[in-house]
Amino acid sequence: MGNAMTIFLKQHCACWVENMCLGVDAERQTFNNSGKCLIMDRKACRYFRAGVLHIAKEKNLCDKIAKLYSKIDKSFVLVITHKCKCGAEIQKRRRFCDRCRHKHRLETYRKARITKNVF
């Protein structure tokens, strides 16, 4: 397991207290009595998947953490979304969203006109 995953887990998992896993999910159902973190043992953890992965999305770490978690949990499907510089989602094989594509095209035309007029 990657070091980034371990650091993220220790900082954001509510079950991780005093270097051990409490093993209680949001409905107060016990799923792990051993005290060892399932992620650290390279096993799938339903609490991590349901309660912690969305924090990675909010902090723009989703691609990295999700890729590491998908190596542990084979049933977890990794969906990578491509984003433009402005943050909008774009389709595959595109570099810019429609708005940025228009801006970039105008900027390119402007630069071309300037270089042609200068002798």
> Which tens digit of pLDDT belongs to each residue from 21-52?
887 776 666 777 777 888 888 888 888 888 78
pTM of the model: 0.56
Are 7 and 38 in the same domain?
yes
Are 112 and 63 in the same domain?
no
pLDDT surpasses 90 at 102: yes
Are 48 and 89 in the same domain?
no
Helix (H, G, I), strand (E, B) or coil at 100: helix
Are 62 and 88 in the same domain?
no
pLDDT value at residue 78: 63
Are 57 and 86 in the same domain?
no
Are 14 and 32 in the same domain?
yes
- What would the pLDDT profile of 45-71 be if each residue is shown by its tens digit? 888 888 787 787 777 676 778 788 888
Are 39 and 89 in the same domain?
no
Residues above pLDDT 70, as percent of the chain? 87
Residues above pLDDT 90, as percent of the chain? 15
Number of domains in the chain: 2
**69 CB-contact burial (10 Å; exposed 0-12 / middle 13-18 / buried 19+):** buried
**What average pLDDT is seen over the chain?**
81
Question: Helices 62-72 and 3-12: crossing angle, nearest 10°?
Answer: 100
Q: Between 33 and 10, where is the model more confident? A: 10
Are 88 and 104 in the same domain?
yes
Q: Which domain holds residue 9?
A: 3-76
Are 28 and 60 in the same domain?
yes
Are 59 and 89 in the same domain?
no
Are 72 and 85 in the same domain?
no
